Each structure stands twice: as C-alpha cells, then as structure tokens.
A and B are shown apart, each in its own frame.
Chain A
C-alpha cells in the first residue's frame, strides 16, 4: 500500500494528511511536488491536501487545477486511481471537473473554523464502508470558500446515485442540500470541505476520521 500527498507551494495541510495516511497504513506517504509531471505508477491512493495552493488570490483551486501534476492526476483518476481532496483539495477537484459543482464563498462571507457534526448519508462506499452505518461524526472545518453549489439536475443526480457521502448537521457555509462531501460516478474520486485528517487523534480533533481512511485503504 503506497499513498501520496500532492504538495503545492502553499499547501498547509500536507503534513496533517501525511500523518493521517501514515497512521492508518503504517507507512510514510510520498510527498509529490507540484512541478512533477507524473504520479508514480505504484501509488495506490492520492490525497490533495488543504491550504491555499498558489495563494488562491484567484478562484480557489483554479491555478492548481491547471498545474503539471494535476494534469497527470486527472488522467489517472479517470482510469480509476483513488483520489481524495479535503478543503482546498475539494476545491481543486471541482475545478478539474472530476467532481461536479463549485465551491463558492461562505454564505456569511466569513472564514469558518469549528468542529462540525456530519451525517454519513451513504455508508456503502469506498470512503465510508468502515463506519457502522449512517452515523454522525465530527470533523473540523476551516475554510472561506466551502459553499457547495450545483444546479438542481446535478444535485438530484448526486442524491439519486448515492454520491453524497456526508451532509452537515448544522450547515456552516450555505452549501446546497447541506452537502459536505461527494464522490464521482465511479466512486474513486472524493472531495469534502471538512478535514478528516484532523480527526485522527484524541488530543486533537477526535478520532472520527480514522474510519474514513480505513475505508478507502481497505478497499484497495
């Protein structure tokens, strides 16, 4: 089992993500610099971490989605490589089109950081199978642009296909239908604004995130 974390110049949850992957797989994650052009072929799971990729002075994730490494990542994700993006990672995945919709500025226009209660709405996926069922978990959120938006047709399709994996219990950002995390049609690409990688330690954010990583690792 080999995992990797993409590192953009202003990624700032790259270490958090690497710690989580190491904790669950027992093996250090490979850190892949944004200027690389290829994800090594032996990588089984890639995380796009939170942060501000290239400063995000433009639309969040817009520049990162056009970076050399993401071009290759998109190609490999389309042929089945499991890829998860948290926070800025979700924004980047939405910008690439691997995931539908967009992340707009939070409804109240403020950055929001708090532990957030999430409802698991589909426990029968590669990213949620280790959870007991449609239980409630707490992951921290920390973002300025997490207001998930898609047209009704897309939202209906996501719901119908069970691709909404997590919903907010107390919507912190105005996301459509309280959506916190979604996957693509094939189920290998997942994005969410909350930070499961910050919920793997009882002294820091709780441990509700461990089963998230277990789910995807065990599915590989």
Chain B
C-alpha cells in the first residue's frame, strides 16, 4: 500500500457497511482491516453478493427434483433432459446500470448471464429477457426502451446466441427504476458440467479475458442502494461490454473444457476478482494467494483496491490442473485472449494478495462467505383487497374495447423490439417471439427434442396480493410451457423489489416467495437458480413487486408440439377452464376503466395442474391445431392473438347465462386455455374433459377474416392487426 489510510466511521459508511457489520469484521480479524480488506468485505457483504436480506427466505424454495442436477448455489442451475443432455440456465437482473446507461447496462447484463452459463460448461443456445419500463408518457421511457433494446441486441447478436423471447411491460411504478432481467439457456453433456470449487493445494490460478480496468468499481454496492435525483452521476460505475471478447471467451472455454485441464472455473461478475476468488476458494475449502502485478491491466497505476473491486467485463478465473498450464496457454493464445497465471491455491484458508513486493491483504475466507450478515428483516403482510365486481363496469361496444386493448402499451405487438434481435442464429430456433406465442422453442442441436423457454410475472397481481401474485407468476410460466406441449421442468427467478429495510416491502417479498414456493411444490417445478435485486427505489418510491420467473421445459419429440398459430378454417374454439369474469387487477380495469383496484384472480394450483396436464396430453396426441393460454387481457385478447398469428377470423358465442359481459371478454381468470380443434374432435375433447372434472366448452369457431361475436363485435382482421402493430413503432417514433 502506498500509505496506510485510517478506517474512519465515514469510510465504513461509504462502503455501505453498518456499524454492526463493521464490528463483526473487527471481531473476525482481531484488528482493523486495511482499505483493500475493507473494500473486499464491503462488496462480499453487499446485498447483491451476500443476499443478506433474502437468504433465509430463499432457503424455503423447493430446489430438488428428479431432473435437478444442480440447484441454486452455483453459477447457474442444471437440469437433466435425458440422453446425457443437460440444460444449464439462469436469469439475472441488471436494473440499476440499465437505468443509468441503458445500452451498456443491458448489454453487460446479457454478457454476464451468458458467462454464468458457459462457465458451467454449457454452450449458450438461447437468450430471453423480462423488461419493465415506466409509463410511456414519462420523459425517460422512450430513451430507455431504445437503449435497452439496442444493448440486448447489440450484445447477443454479435456473440451469436439467438434472443428468442421475453416480455415487456410499461407501468408508472417503474418510472424511476426500470427492470432489465436477462436469462440465458445453455446446453452441455451431463458428464461435462463444470463447477466453481477451487480444489487442491498448489494448483495454478489462471486469469483469462479482458484486461482489468477502472470500470464498474463498486457496481455491486450501487446495486445495493436506492437511487435519488443525482443517480445519473453514478455513470462511471457502469461497465462497458465487449461482445467480441465474450465470443472468443466462449469458444476458448469450450475448447479447453473439452480437455481435462480445468479443475474449477468461475466468471468475474459482480464484485469482479474479489467474489470470484473468494467463492472459488470457499467452495473448495482452500486458500488463495494472488499476485496482483500479474493481473492483465488496462491502465497504469491501478491499486490493489481498484483491481479487486473492478467489474470490467468478459473475464474468467480458473484453477488449472498442474501440468496442463501450457495447454491452457495454447488455447487462449489461439483465441488471442489475455491470459496470465496470477496465483495458486493454498492450504491457509486465507485470501492473500501480493502487490509490488508487499502483502496488501491477508484475511480468512470463511467469514467473507459464510459469516456474511443474514438478516431477518421485519415484514408486514400486504392488506388483502376486496374482489372487484364486474357488474359495475358497463361494456357496450366490444369492437371499440378490443381495438383499445389490442393497441394498448402492455398488449400491443412487440415487433419493434424483437426485430432487433437475431432470433435465428445457430439455426435451431423452432419458434420465437416472432409468433407471439407462449414459449420459445429451441431445438437441441442434432436431435429431435427441444427446450421450451418462457419468462413471466404479472406485477399488478403481485402488488395487489403478493401471495396470489407469487403463485400466479410460477403458474403462468408452467402454463406457457404446457401450451407448446412441453413438460415443465424447473425455473430460475429474478426477484425485483424495493428497499427491504421497509417492512411493507419485505412483506411483499416474503408473500411472493410463499406463493411462488407453493406453486413450485404443486407442480413439482423446482427453482434451480436465481437472483435477487432489492433497493429498486427512487426517492422512496418502490417498484411494484416483480418476481420474474424463467421457466424451462422439455419437448421430447418435435413431432408433437403446438403454438398459438395453426387454427384452420372451421376449427372449433374450445375453452378449457372456468370463466367467472374476474376483472379485479386486470389490464382492462387499469387501462380502459382506469381503475387500479380489486383482488387479483385467485390461483387454484390443483386446477391449474389438472387443466394443464389435459391440454398437454391433447397436444401430444395431436388433437389440437393451436393453443394459447388466457393471461393479460383475458379471453378476447387470447383468441385475437391466435387469430392474428394464424391469419384467420373468428366468431365467438357468449353463453346467455354467462358472467357480466366485461368479465367474460376481458376478465383474467386463471387456469384457462383456448384450443383450436377440428370440428370432429369437439365432442370427444369436451366429454373426456368432463369425465376428468375439467370444464370445457366450445365458445366459437375460427373462420374467415372477420372477428365477430354475438355481442356485436365486428372487426376486419386487417384493422385489428394494424392497430396491434401500430402502437410501439408510433410511440418510439413520436
């Protein structure tokens, strides 16, 4: 160290550590830390790295299952999809940086999540995302949409991994904090999965990838605090992405992974070299000694503090099998990547850093990882809302209502977004956002099987009732996977909330997790990886609770799958499930009636399972031509989306004894699917359903080019399509 800086209470506070946390450090070390050590403790104990507010609650999740190879705790979750194939996936947030610098924030979010996946030996085969922006009229929204979409595309397109789907919502609750959640799905062989543990003593530690610069220092700490009006000044803590280097890293790692040279490997994500070294050592039960002079550096005069806290992108740390060093050098040199042996594993249990001939850090690793704070934050449950009565909402002009809904910000076509993503590269995309379907379908290269992937959450519901909303987000992903004929296997989650130090926010968090976990258990649909993003607040205004869920399922044979397109002339429209007209917390109520009230639709998990299993069976038996689940916007939006995707009109018949008209068309009752089936299949499908206690009824017919109903709906499909397609491009160009 150039000079010893005395650690004052102000310095401790600047590092985001509480007095109590600092006291623990003093106790564990038996002395005051130096600046480097304090910096290392501060990032390792930040909310972002330590999950100190969420850990005890995450522990309740179902994380095991017959197909789970690796649950939470590694870089990503691993599931078994038979024949020696594994799928490795995770979703992660990059919210704070994306608000400050949308292009780079989103781009590096994509880069980071890809590294989490290929670190484990998987070739990334698909990218997804879940995006939330403020209301369209907010002055920042357009710029943020433009930058985030360009950033996601710019990174994924260059690396050459298809971005196959996602979701985008607009709500004033995100005016001050947008959400950028990126998910990556990769494929590996089950016997070639790599873990992060640094095993053995005296084994060489390799650094590979981009040089370390001064970017992103304390990014993890930024992601663990609220924003205020001066947040734009945090721009220097946003990292810059280099997808070219990422592509080289993927190919080089894949090449080296094909050998037996790697003992353990970890990407340098949040908290950079610090967290990767500490996590590898902790998992392997060893110590680590690094010579910081050997770290490839982008700038002169970098201090140990800067090197350890830098979040420069596209960097990996690995422990190499002794004797295989040259093999590693050869591969990384072939790909023209910076590579250096920067240290070795030790038996001291300490993290020791040497710099310019001096020891600049010597701290035990165990407290960094294991003794991280673990808080039981006070939480107050969200008060329950009364159900909203659909009778109080008059709906007379169904045509007008459909046009307003189909052209509304949360339902209108996302073409403007997904046309900026390469959805086809790698040549295995069977279905993507292009169809507007429920789940993307990506073939496992060289086989007839495929993974189905979806991301979903309905923050309106989570805000109104975290518990029901928590159940719903898991149920909806399960339903989406079912809609394409996949067996849902497991989920990853990205839990975006406000400040956990506020009991009502913590109450949302606890409530959502309880609901999610119940759904996971009901479906035998475990959580295998995830990420928590707290402090999504600006000036005390928190985002709506947004536990984004990424679901993955398996289509065992691509001869049997479905999408929402495919309805044929004369096909019957069959509704599976019960329509009670639940309009509370619906899009219709919010965007057409301008009322944000009412309890969200309850989720009957047993019914979800029964209905979904039946629909999946019908798809496997090739009894249906198209399938779509009822979600945002209800029945009429579901059937209209099927009509647009299949380029065919329909005629709907609302039963005379139905619920109120607004609820029938736009209510958001759960556990419902719309099927397009051959007229000859109608009776057997309905009678088999009824035999199993499943509600099923024909509610209309796909035919012609008009969208019509017995309540006066009468629109030409082209009119509906142009309204559906118009909103987003017009908004972006306005």
Task: Please give the residue numbers on chain A whose beta carbons come within 8 Å of chain B beta carbons, in ascending order.
Answer: 9-13, 15-16, 19, 50-52, 54-57, 110-115, 140, 142, 144, 195, 197-198, 201, 203-205
Would you give 28 A-B contacts (Cβ < 8 Å), ordered by A?
A9-B244, A9-B248, A9-B251, A10-B159, A11-B160, A12-B160, A12-B247, A13-B425, A15-B426, A19-B427, A52-B244, A55-B244, A56-B158, A56-B244, A57-B244, A110-B150, A111-B154, A111-B157, A113-B419, A113-B422, A114-B434, A142-B424, A142-B425, A198-B425, A201-B427, A203-B430, A204-B428, A205-B424
Look across to chain A and name the residue whose beta carbon is closest to the beta carbon of B245. Answer: A55
Interface pair A15/B336, CB less than 8 Å apart: no
CB of A210 to closest CB in B, whole Å: 13
Task: Please give the residue numbers on chain B whose beta carbons come within 8 Å of chain A beta carbons, in ascending order.
Answer: 150, 153-154, 157-160, 242-245, 247-248, 251, 335-336, 418-430, 434, 443, 558
| A142: chain B residues within 8 A (beta carbon) | 157, 422-425
CB of A107 to closest CB in B, whole Å: 14
- The answer for the CA separation of A140 and B421 in the assembled complex, in Å, is 12
- The answer for the CA separation of A12 and B247 in the assembled complex, in Å, is 9
| A114: chain B residues within 8 A (beta carbon) | 419, 434
CB of B731 to closest CB in A, whole Å: 15
List 15 other contacts, CB 8 Å, given A111-B422, A113-B423, A195-B424.
A9-B248, A10-B244, A12-B159, A15-B427, A16-B425, A51-B160, A52-B158, A55-B244, A55-B245, A111-B154, A113-B424, A115-B434, A142-B424, A144-B157, A198-B427
- The answer for the CA separation of A19 and B425 in the assembled complex, in Å, is 12
Interface pair A10/B160, CB less than 8 Å apart: yes
| Cβ-Cβ contact count across A and B, 8 Å cutoff | 92
| A195: chain B residues within 8 A (beta carbon) | 424
Of the residues A10, A110, A197, contact of B427 by C-beta under 8 Å: A197
Look across to chain A and name the residue whose beta carbon is closest to the beta carbon of B246. Answer: A10
- The answer for the CA separation of A10 and B252 in the assembled complex, in Å, is 12
Looking at B160, B248, B426, B428, which has the most chain A CB atoms within 10 Å of its CB?
B160
User: Given contacts A203-B443, A204-B428, A204-B443, are A55 and B423 in contact (CB under 8 A)?
Assistant: no
Interface pair A10/B419, CB less than 8 Å apart: no
Interface pair B426/A55, CB less than 8 Å apart: no
Interface pair B419/A55, CB less than 8 Å apart: no
Which 6 pairs between the two chains have the least Cβ-Cβ distance?
A12-B160, A55-B244, A16-B427, A142-B422, A10-B247, A52-B158
Interface pair A9/B430, CB less than 8 Å apart: no
- The answer for the CA separation of A140 and B420 in the assembled complex, in Å, is 13
Look across to chain A and name the residue whose beta carbon is closest to the beta carbon of B335. Answer: A9
- The answer for the CA separation of A139 and B658 in the assembled complex, in Å, is 47
Of the residues B160, B248, B429, contact of A13 by C-beta under 8 Å: B160
- The answer for the CA separation of A204 and B418 in the assembled complex, in Å, is 17
Interface pair B424/A204, CB less than 8 Å apart: yes
| A198: chain B residues within 8 A (beta carbon) | 424-425, 427
| A144: chain B residues within 8 A (beta carbon) | 157
- The answer for the CA separation of A198 and B428 in the assembled complex, in Å, is 9
| A11: chain B residues within 8 A (beta carbon) | 160
Interface pair A9/B427, CB less than 8 Å apart: no
CB of A113 to closest CB in B, whole Å: 5
| B425: chain A residues within 8 A (beta carbon) | 12-13, 16, 50, 142, 198
Look across to chain B and name the residue whose beta carbon is closest to the beta carbon of A197. Answer: B427
- The answer for the CA separation of A195 and B424 in the assembled complex, in Å, is 10
| B244: chain A residues within 8 A (beta carbon) | 9-10, 52, 54-57
Looking at B242, B423, B424, B443, which has the most chain A CB atoms within 10 Å of its CB?
B424
Interface pair A111/B248, CB less than 8 Å apart: no
Looking at B421, B428, B443, which has the most chain A CB atoms within 10 Å of its CB?
B428
| A51: chain B residues within 8 A (beta carbon) | 160
Interface pair B159/A113, CB less than 8 Å apart: no
Looking at B158, B248, B421, B425, which has the most chain A CB atoms within 10 Å of its CB?
B425
- The answer for the CA separation of A198 and B426 in the assembled complex, in Å, is 9
- The answer for the CA separation of A205 and B426 in the assembled complex, in Å, is 12
- The answer for the CA separation of A52 and B558 in the assembled complex, in Å, is 31
Look across to chain B and name the residue whose beta carbon is closest to the beta carbon of A16. Answer: B427
CB of B680 to closest CB in A, whole Å: 26
- The answer for the CA separation of A204 and B423 in the assembled complex, in Å, is 11
Interface pair A10/B158, CB less than 8 Å apart: yes
User: Given contacts A9-B335, A10-B158, A10-B247, are A204 and B421 in contact (CB under 8 A)?
Assistant: no
- The answer for the CA separation of A214 and B158 in the assembled complex, in Å, is 29
- The answer for the CA separation of A12 and B336 in the assembled complex, in Å, is 17
Interface pair B427/A205, CB less than 8 Å apart: yes
CB of A57 to closest CB in B, whole Å: 7
Looking at B150, B160, B422, which has the most chain A CB atoms within 10 Å of its CB?
B422
User: Given contacts A9-B336, A12-B160, are A55 and B420 in contact (CB under 8 A)?
Assistant: no
| A9: chain B residues within 8 A (beta carbon) | 244, 247-248, 251, 335-336
Interface pair A113/B421, CB less than 8 Å apart: yes
| B150: chain A residues within 8 A (beta carbon) | 110-111
Look across to chain B and name the residue whose beta carbon is closest to the beta carbon of A200. Answer: B427
Interface pair A204/B427, CB less than 8 Å apart: yes
Look across to chain A and name the residue whose beta carbon is closest to the beta carbon of B421. Answer: A113
Looking at A10, A112, A113, which has the most chain B CB atoms within 10 Å of its CB?
A113
| B159: chain A residues within 8 A (beta carbon) | 10, 12
- The answer for the CA separation of A54 and B336 in the assembled complex, in Å, is 11
CB of B148 to closest CB in A, whole Å: 13
CB of A69 to closest CB in B, whole Å: 15
| B245: chain A residues within 8 A (beta carbon) | 55
| A52: chain B residues within 8 A (beta carbon) | 158, 160, 243-244, 247
- The answer for the CA separation of A91 and B422 in the assembled complex, in Å, is 18
CB of B560 to closest CB in A, whole Å: 13
Interface pair A113/B420, CB less than 8 Å apart: yes
| B158: chain A residues within 8 A (beta carbon) | 10, 12, 52, 55-56
| B434: chain A residues within 8 A (beta carbon) | 114-115
| A113: chain B residues within 8 A (beta carbon) | 157, 418-424
| A204: chain B residues within 8 A (beta carbon) | 424, 427-430, 443
- The answer for the CA separation of A198 and B160 in the assembled complex, in Å, is 13
Interface pair B424/A10, CB less than 8 Å apart: no
Look across to chain B and name the residue whose beta carbon is closest to the beta carbon of A54. Answer: B244
| B443: chain A residues within 8 A (beta carbon) | 203-204
| A110: chain B residues within 8 A (beta carbon) | 150, 419-420
CB of A116 to closest CB in B, whole Å: 11
Look across to chain B and name the residue whose beta carbon is closest to the beta carbon of A204. Answer: B427
- The answer for the CA separation of A197 and B428 in the assembled complex, in Å, is 12
- The answer for the CA separation of A80 and B427 in the assembled complex, in Å, is 30
- The answer for the CA separation of A11 and B243 in the assembled complex, in Å, is 12
| B422: chain A residues within 8 A (beta carbon) | 111, 113, 142
Interface pair A111/B153, CB less than 8 Å apart: yes
- The answer for the CA separation of A140 and B426 in the assembled complex, in Å, is 13
Look across to chain A and name the residue whose beta carbon is closest to the beta carbon of B427. Answer: A16
Look across to chain A and name the residue whose beta carbon is closest to the beta carbon of B154. Answer: A111
CB of B459 to closest CB in A, whole Å: 28
CB of B485 to closest CB in A, whole Å: 14
CB of B230 to closest CB in A, whole Å: 31
Look across to chain B and name the residue whose beta carbon is closest to the beta carbon of A57. Answer: B244
CB of B666 to closest CB in A, whole Å: 31
Interface pair B428/A111, CB less than 8 Å apart: no
- The answer for the CA separation of A54 and B335 in the assembled complex, in Å, is 11
Look across to chain A and name the residue whose beta carbon is closest to the beta carbon of B149. Answer: A110
| A55: chain B residues within 8 A (beta carbon) | 158, 242-245
Look across to chain A and name the residue whose beta carbon is closest to the beta carbon of B163. Answer: A113
| B421: chain A residues within 8 A (beta carbon) | 111, 113
- The answer for the CA separation of A48 and B196 in the assembled complex, in Å, is 37
